Amino acid sequence: MFSISPAAVTLYEVGVYWAVGDAGTALHAGRGLHPGQFSTAERRARMHTGLARAWWQWDKPQQTADALLHALRVSPAEVRDRPAIRRVAGDLIGRHPRTAGVRELASALGARLRTERTAKTENG
């Protein structure tokens, strides 16, 4: 059976606020979240990727990079295998290559991102 914790509800709130374009409220809602509140690596990574989306929406590349790196270290698949998160990472890498941590992120995702860009270019 799956149990719903207060932290899971808060993480859901972060996603809802991000989805409606209110990054500030998303980040405010998520300010008390920490990895220890989640029982699986995937949920811990989702916390980081949810916050990364809000940071990116709020035009904060350093915080975005930090959150994506945390997610990558906890559960690489949550960053590598989710198209929406790969897009955020790819945009971050392309627009802010000198931001601390972006080289590490690019290195971890580089071959996959190059392949996707090449496929998009070849397919129009």
Walk along the chain (124 residues) in steps of 10 and give the mean pLDDT of each run: 85 98 98 96 97 98 98 96 95 94 91 48 53
The pTM (predicted TM-score) of the whole model is 0.86
Alpha-carbon distance values, 33 to 5, 44, 96, 100, 104 (Å):
12, 10, 26, 23, 25
- Looking at residue 2, its pLDDT comes to 61
- Looking at residue 46, its pLDDT comes to 97
Task: DSSP for 42-55, please give it.
Answer: HHHHHHHHHHHHHH
- Looking at residue 115, its pLDDT comes to 41
- Looking at residue 3, its pLDDT comes to 74
